[in-house]
Amino acid sequence: MPQTLHDVVFVDGVRTPFGKAGEKGIYAQTRADDLVIRCIRELMRRNPGLPPARVEEVAVGATTQIGDQGLTLGRMAALLSGLPTTTPGYSIDRMCAGGMTAVTTVAGSIAFGAIDVAIAGGVEHMGHHPMGEQVDPNPRIVAERLVDPSALVMGKTAENLHDRFPTITKARCDAYAVASQTKLARAYDDGKIQPDLVPMATRHAEKGWGMATVDEPPRRGTTIDDLTGLKTPFRAHGNVTAGNAAGLNDGATACLLASGEAAEELGLPVKMRLVSYGFVGVEPEVMGIGPVPATEKALRSAGLTIEDIGLFELNEAFAVQVIAFLEHFGLADDDPRVNEYGGAIAVGHPLASSGVRLMTQLARQFEEHPEVRYGLTAMCIGIGMGGCVIWENPHHADFGKEK
């Protein structure tokens, strides 16, 4: 019997404010699982036409799946969010792309017809669980020269990218980082960020109870002079600094996905339609180049070219990897279609949660740009991978038609 594939649509997305990792951060004594639970509850509150029993899967990405990010987090978060016991769930680890992979994995189930509605998200509490905590990499990976030792340190892989692309100077990366801070500040001033932020209650043994309502990492007013003299911790006289890279952060995201038929039946909004996606592997020691072949793969799958893409949400793990992407596709460092609301250098990058932040921001931009038909979300991924998801704008006049 022939299999009918179903359209997959992005209904809604939310996130907590992102915090700085560490004892001084807003989430220092807040549980990681409570962050993603808050997001799931908010999705259900914002979409009252969706009966909880219709949510057929909860997938949550987390890079470090121990402690308050462990124990099959997707299922535990579903139960603690008030979803019925009939809603199953699971966890995903693809490092930085955990949330992105949660989306594409449940999307496959929806497209195949196995489920109609799902929640996908990601969480990372890097204050509780630094990247690599309690891991034991097989020594053969270095001893047998399968990868360069620098592949296991993300900042060193960014320095390696500078070696590969000498035209990407520290000055260019610093200028890009300043622009990210400036764009995020402008987006906040224009009320573009706040609609999808979920206020998060916090607790601290000494400070008491609090309420996180805005992102903690941004440095409004950052200038080139502020970044010029920063230390280069990954290489003496290097190029990668705390100013032109994302920091260590805590935060969570979640989004609601559905089949086109279920969205119509339940009266759910359609903010984007998933067109195609691609994940690839690259040399681990230059993992930042991953979004380039991932995007090429997703474009081929969709029958599109880079000229068809009108909006880009690129994760800014490091400025050098974003600029490498832009340079490859012939885009300017300051192309206004790229990260209109700023990016992870300014807002933070809680690893597995970031992919859904990109999607939520792209959905918001689609509303403002009905002239744009296609947009993409892309990111580099630790241990040498890249991911890209292409979306169609329902506000475009040709939405849903053959290209």
Whether 349 sits among the annotated catalytic residues: the reply is: yes
Residue of 6, 162, 349, 388 with catalytic role: 349
Can you tell me the distance from the alpha carbon of 145 to that of 135, in angstroms, rounded to the nearest whole number? 20
Coil, strand or helix: which one is 335?
coil
How are beta strands 19-20 and 249-259 bridged, if at all? antiparallel
What Rg value do the Cα atoms of the chain yield, rounded?
20
Residues with Cβ within 8 Å of 36's Cβ and at least 6 positions away in sequence, in order, are 60, 73, 77, 121, 122, 123, 252, 253, 254, 353
Which residue is associated with the tokens 């960020």? 193
Altogether, the residues listed in the chain come to a count of 403
User: Among this protein's residues, is 388 annotated catalytic?
Assistant: no
CA distance 222 to 322: 19
3-state secondary structure 78-118: HHHCCCCCCCCEEEECECECHHHHHHHHHHHHHHHCCCCEE
Distance between CA atoms of residues 70 and 29, nearest Å: 17
User: How many other CB atoms sit within 10 Å of the CB of residue 335?
Assistant: 12
Options 96, 173, 255, 388, the catalytic residue: 96
Q: Is 96 a catalytic residue?
A: yes
DSSP label at 242?
S
379: enclosing H helix or E strand: strand 374-381
3-state secondary structure of 182: helix
Quote the CA–CA distance of 156 and 171 in Å, as a whole number: 18
Return d(Cα 384, Cα 154) in angstroms, integer.
10
Catalytic residue from among 39, 173, 255, 380:
380
CA distances, 104 to each of 77, 120, 396 (Å): 19, 9, 23
For the annotated catalytic residues, the residue numbers are 96, 349, 380
